[in-house]
Amino acid sequence: MPVTTRRWAFLFYYLVCAAAIVMMFGEGAWMTSLRLARLGVPVQGALTAAACGSDTPLAYRFDANGVNYQGRGKDGFGNPPCAKLHLGDPILVYHLSDDPSINLPGNPGERFVTEASGILMAALFVPLVLLFLFFITLRILGSSPRGR
């Protein structure tokens, strides 16, 4: 295979793998954080429950447009750590003005940077590792007596 063709094949493989990783891991709170960072409205919510150590340790409520909403999320990102919070404590909550049921505690801009950096690091390095393993396997199979 010519060198130019191999380079294009590598680039294609790399971009497909990186896009797949971003699509798989970027669906969840990452996109919600981005929407809330761009379009979100900050309000003061009240802590209704705290389960420190769980995936979503904070349960909270807030009012938007005269309606009471509830949500669950992570601590930090402008709110105190879970261990320092008590029931009824005020916490920062962002929600979409046209759909307050889409909400997250804390600053969504900070949350987005944290989540996006992890996803982008995976998208950068995982395809390289997989490609390295693939080429090592091809080299081993190509140099074995049965591979010829």
The closest alpha carbon to 76, from 102, 52, 111, 43, belongs to: 111
Collapsing DSSP to helix, strand or coil, 22 comes out as helix
102: phi then psi, degrees, rounded to nearest 5: -95, 105
Domain boundaries, the chain: 41-123
Q: What is the pLDDT of residue 146?
A: 56
pTM > 0.75: no
Per-residue model confidence as pLDDT tens for the chain (148 residues):
677 887 888 888 888 888 887 777 766 667 889 999 999 999 999 999 999 988 889 999 999 999 999 999 999 999 999 999 999 999 999 999 999 999 999 999 998 988 888 888 888 888 888 888 888 888 888 765 554 4
| Packing angle, helices 3-25 and 108-143, rounded to 10 | 140
CB-based contact 72:109 (threshold 8 Å): no
Q: Phi and psi for 72 in degrees, rounded to 5?
A: -135, 150
